[in-house]
Structures are given as C-alpha cells and as structure tokens.
Amino acid sequence: MVFGWFQKKSPEKTLQSIDPICKMLVNENTSMKSEHAGKAYYFCSEACKQQFDKNPAQFKN
C-alpha cells in the first residue's frame, strides 16, 4: 500500500520566455500574454505589455 506522502511527484514543467520589451525571463504559466501575427508574447508587467500592444510589429523576433 502506498500512501500519498510517499508518492514521488514529478516537478511541473515551467515554460519560460523572454519579455520582448525588457528582456526579462518570464514564466509563461503566470505572466501576462499578448498575441501578434499568430505568435504569443509574454510579459513581466502590465507596463511592458502595454508598450508592446501599442506597436507589436516593432518587436519582431
């Protein structure tokens, strides 16, 4: 019999991206997101997201 506290949990995979405005590494699961031209962009803050949303074509990768 296996008890819950003995079961080994696998770590949740963290997907990370770079904020196109400030170049900070951000967690895709918890950060803000905008989409442009079929691509998702992730942001560390609302300020970075707003700056991107004003002119997303400026920040092409």
Query: Is the residue at 35 inside a domain?
Result: yes
Q: Domain range holding 33?
A: 11-59
Query: Is the residue at 47 inside a domain?
Result: yes
Hey, CA dihedral for 45, 49, 51, 52, is it positive or negative? positive
Query: Is the residue at 3 inside a domain?
Result: no
pTM attached to this predicted model: 0.74
Query: Is the residue at 31 inside a domain?
Result: yes
| C-alpha span between 16 and 8 (Å, rounded) | 24
Query: Is the residue at 30 inside a domain?
Result: yes
**What mean pLDDT value characterizes the chain?**
86
* In the predicted structure, residue 51 carries a pLDDT above the cut 90: yes
Query: Is the residue at 4 inside a domain?
Result: no
What's the structural domain count of the chain? 1
Tell me which H or E stretch contains 46: helix 46-54
Residue-wise pLDDT for 29-39, tens only, equals: 999 999 999 99
